[in-house]
Amino acid sequence: MMNCEQVTRAAGEFIERQLRFRERMMVLVHIAMCKGCRAYLEQFRLTLLALRSLPQPAPAAPSEDLIERFRKHSR
């Protein structure tokens, strides 16, 4: 069985369903018994959902200084 530290380290992969079956089952067993880790995983999941709902920032146009440094470097 995993401990709380191991579950928090695996939280992202667990939520993204990137853990192997055995590891996923170990997390599930742990969170069935640990209220704190259940709350942590739910917070993590909601944070990821909120971040994904934000609009993607538009890329900034390169500054003249950056363009000039690129030109000098490529010569």
Confidence band, pLDDT 50/70/90 cuts, at residue 9: very high
Q: How far apart are CA 53 and CA 55, in angstroms?
A: 6
Query: For 43-57, how does the pLDDT look when each residue is reduced to its tens digit (9 = 90+)?
Result: 999 999 999 999 988
Share of the chain above pLDDT 90, in %: 72
Q: How many CA atoms lie within 13 A of 14 on its CB side?
A: 24
The mean pLDDT value of the chain amounts to 93
Domain containing 59: what range?
A: 4-74
Domain count, the chain: 1
